Amino acid sequence: MSYPSTGAGGGANLADILERVLDRGVVIVGDVRINLLDIELLTIKLRLIVASVERAEEMGIDWWRDDPSLSSSARRREVSQERRDRNREQRDLARENAELKERLAALESRGEAALKDRAPEDRTLEERKEESP
């Protein structure tokens, strides 16, 4: 099978077509559905937009600005948010640790007071030996 050779004008035509497509934009839509005995097993929806960045922004499409893998400013925002979250978690853990220490100290002091208040017959043999002179 032979293909017609492209002359010098072929490249210019391709460039013109590409410029026109990027300027105006092209939307390609397709759906793939797989059914078995009238039961839908799988649906794939395909949407493809080919346009220049400027044209895409005019259409309200700018997802690349918030994608950390494509935008350094989005990556910086993500890292800053992770740092804030980590700091918040550390503050929460420190506060919880302090509260638990206070509760433990209160329980220990109550336990010591309860031991001192027990009647002599309720005390263990070791406790009685420690108290006797």
Q: Are the CB atoms for 82 and 68 separated by under 8 Å?
A: no
Which pLDDT score, from 0 to 100, does residue 100 have?
A: 94
Which pLDDT score, from 0 to 100, does residue 1 have?
A: 46
Classify the phi-psi angles of 43: left when phi > 0, otherwise alpha if psi is within -120 to 50, otherwise beta. beta
Which pLDDT score, from 0 to 100, does residue 92 have?
A: 96
DSSP 3-state of 54: helix
CA distance 132 to 120: 11
- pLDDT tens across the length of the chain (133 residues): 444 555 555 566 888 887 877 777 777 778 888 888 888 889 998 888 888 878 888 878 888 788 888 788 888 888 999 999 999 999 999 999 999 999 999 988 887 777 676 666 666 656 666 666 5
- pTM > 0.75: yes or no: no
The token pair at 60 is 């309200």
Residue 2: CB atoms within 10 A of its CB come to 4
